[in-house]
Structure 1
Amino acid sequence: MKEINSKWLYLVVLSMIWGTSFILIKKSLLGLTPYQLGALRTIITGFFLLAVGFNKLKTIDKRQWKWIGLSGLLGSFFPAFLFAIAETEIDSAVASILNSLVPLNTILLGFAVFRIASTKRQVLGVIVGFVGTAILILKGAELNPEQNYLYAGFIIISTVMYAANVNIIKRYLQDVKPLAIAAGNYAVISIPALIVLFFSDFFTSETFENPNLKMAMVYVTILAFFGTALAKVLFAKLVQMSTPVFASSVTFLMPVIALFWGVLDGEGFSLLQGFGSFIILIGVYLSHKRKK
């Protein structure tokens, strides 16, 4: 019973942290380009994680480093840029809603590539949650007809990467400490992030003269510490203590939090979206695999 309660606690905390990340990305883009944001988010996160987890790197076996590197690229590096690019055209709440495709992709990839089985109840939970997500997407498109939904493709690509990452952690890194996984991820991806930042025109007078830069740096630092560094460790722990599908179902709860912040920031919300959010919660509950 204690383990079951811990799973739900991790799930709720992660949904609140990651649900807030979308509005932080939106605010950071007021003073940074998508490439600057993605690079800074990665670099700052790497600083935090390596400061507290550098000693954990020695616990990673040599044969596991290829999976640590791949996990970092798919679960953190590329999505940091793809989400920033997407949010230049679509609302933060819509981005979080599209992110709910992760559990569906987790089941598909888990079965097709990683041979990780899912129960009928988990599949039903994903389907129910996906229905709620579809309601949110359709109503969001109606409320925001001026948005370029082609940019949603960047989010969809990210969800496939996230799904691959959660299966990699469960399949190949089950015995690695969560902090070691997170620190290892950023030990690998911080170097390419530095290269991207160097070529992103960040170190120019035009960037430093931007009146929004100061607040953008505050937002991206909060995003890096809570939305990435802390969340990465919590998520790795959740994957190890539950199932890939249950862990990825955090993306069903995130839109509820993101919609709340979106409304406060002037983004639209309707009763039908509230109904969709309620269906999503049912999907999360069903996706939890109870022990007999």
Structure 2
Amino acid sequence: MKSIEKKWIYLAVLSVVWGSSFILIKKSLIGLTPLQLGALRTLFAATFLLLIGFRYLKKIKKHKWKWIAISAFLGTFIPAFLFAFAETEIDSAVASILNSTTPIVTLIIGAIIFSISYTRNQLFGVVVGLLGSLLLIYAGADVNPDQNYWYSSLVIAASLCYAFNVNIIKRHLQEIPAMSIAVGNFVVLILPAFTVLLFSGFFSKDLANDAELHTSLGYLVILAVIGTGVAKVMFNKLVQMSTPVFATSVTYTIPIVALLWGMLDGEHFTLFQGFATGIILLGVLLTNRK
């Protein structure tokens, strides 16, 4: 199969997996705090990846562990907590759409920090995409006044983390197998995640008899294993076989899945929000236009 075909398959699968992650975060938060969710998500994913890919660690050269650690915190650890806190105040569908600013931020970071050239169309696309994000925040605040849209900034911060991470993978970890990067990431994160969990109040819960907690943990296991573990390996591979901007374009198709889940769960979505989403997608089209 040609690589041009494979990268589109990877993009489609990741769209479905990550598009479903936002509703899984929302359901997990019913019985867990954001700190507990972020820590457990990391630990469950780490356990899964170590079980299937421990042998891949030997393929990471000693001098590359610095970049593996930086990638771990920017690409996984910090965003896991940012999204968990954000969805305590904003809808999962809105969070997924705001996450679609990632390709735009990736372009900016690539140009400023990594000296990657850009075209006039890409620059114009950046401006249009950011305008769409601002309109989306305004529309959401107007339709759902009970939501605290200052928490939208947490999703933007996560997008910034993702943008740095994807450029780091492309620049410094290109020759390392995608599985090795993923397993290495989570080896680095085990101790920090357990430390957060230890001070999060999780162990003071009634772990044996709390039915709500058991349900949340069920959603979280799916989120961690599929939405974090498997998806992380696939995304690392996608970055290596394509470009940073193409790989992060998955965040433009993610909202389609997330919106469907959100509406099925009773979340509100208006035509004006759809208009703002369209502007963001226009920004993507311009950014990726040759």
Q: TM-score, normalised by structure 1?
A: 0.91
Distance across 2 between alignment mates of 1:57 and 1:164: 23
Q: Which amino acid aligns with 1:159?
A: S
In structure 1, the residue matched to 2:56 is 56
Sequence identity percentage: 56
* Distance change (3 Å), C-alpha of 1:9 and 1:131: farther
Q: Tell me which residue corresponds to 1:143.
A: 143
Q: CA deviation at 1:11?
A: 1.4
Specify the alignment match of 1:85 in structure 2. Answer: 85
Q: Which moved more, 1:115-124 or 1:80-89?
A: 115-124
Measure how far apart 1:3 and its partner are.
2.4
- Cα distance between partner residues in 2 of 1:95 and 1:186: 24
Change (3 A) 1:84 1:282: same
Q: After superposing the two structures, state which structure 1 stretch, 163-172 or 96-105, moved more.
A: 96-105
Partner of 2:174: 174
Name 1:188's counterpart in structure 2. Answer: 188
Aligned-partner SS, 1:203: helix
The amino acid across from 1:6 in the alignment is: K
User: How many residues are matched?
Assistant: 290
- RMSD (CA atoms): 2.1
1: distance between equivalents of 2:153 and 2:219?
25
Q: What do residues 91-150 of structure 1 show as CA deviations (whole Å, max 9, x unaligned)?
A: 111111221221121111111111223344544555555455444433322221111112
- Kindly report which structure 2 residues correspond to 1:37-76, keeping only aligned pairs within 5 A, or say none: 37-76=37-76
What pairs up with 1:234-253 in 2 under 5 angstroms? 234-253=234-253
Q: Secondary structure at the match of 1:30?
A: coil
Is the Cα contact below 8 Å between 2:103 and 2:284 reproduced in 1? no
- Identify the range of structure 1 (31-40 vs 280-289) with the bigger mean alpha-carbon deviation: 280-289
Task: Please say if residues 253 and 280 of structure 1, whose CA atoms lie closer than 8 Å, have aligned partners that are also in contact.
Answer: no
Q: Specify every segment of 5 or more residues in structure 2 that has no aligned partner in the other structure, as ranges.
A: none
Equivalent residue number for residue 18 of structure 1? 18
* Deviation (angstroms), 1:245: 1.1
Cα distance in 2 between the residues matched to 1:209 and 1:56: 39
- Unpaired runs of 5+ residues, structure 1, are none
The structural deviation recorded for 1:85 is: 1.0
Q: Quote the Cα distance in structure 1 between the aligned partners of 2:8 and 2:141.
A: 31
Superposed displacement of residue 239, structure 1: 0.8
- Give 1:9's aligned residue: 9
Is the 1:133–1:277 Cα contact (8 Å) retained in structure 2? yes
Listed one character per residue, the Cα deviations across residues 171-198 of structure 1 (whole Å, up to 9, x for unaligned) are 1001111111000000100111011111
Contact 2:97 2:277 in 1 (8 A): no
Moved more, 2-11 or 74-83: 2-11
Secondary structure of the residue aligned to 2:267 is: coil
Letter in 1 for 2:82: L
TM-score under structure 2 normalisation? 0.92
Residues 12, 133 of structure 1: alpha-carbon distance in 2 compared, 3 angstrom cutoff: farther
**Matched position secondary structure for 1:212:** helix
| Worse-matched range after superposition: 124-133 or 198-207 | 124-133
CA distance in 1, matches of 2:242, 2:131: 24
Whether contact under 8 Å (2:141, 2:148) holds in the other structure is no
Q: Residue 230 of structure 1: CA displacement?
A: 0.9
Q: Equivalent residue for 1:225?
A: 225
CA 1:97/1:162 → structure 2, altered by over 3 Å: closer, same or farther? same
| Cα separation, 2, equivalents of 1:109 and 1:171 | 13
Contact 1:246 1:284 (8 Å CA) reproduced:
no
The amino acid that maps onto 2:63 is R
* 1-structure distance, mates of 2:15, 2:134: 19
Equivalent pair of 1:122/1:245 in contact (CA under 8 Å) = no
Which residue of the partner structure matches residue 98 of structure 2? Answer: 98
Alpha carbons of 1:32 and 1:40: their partners in 2 closer, same or farther (altered >3 Å)? same
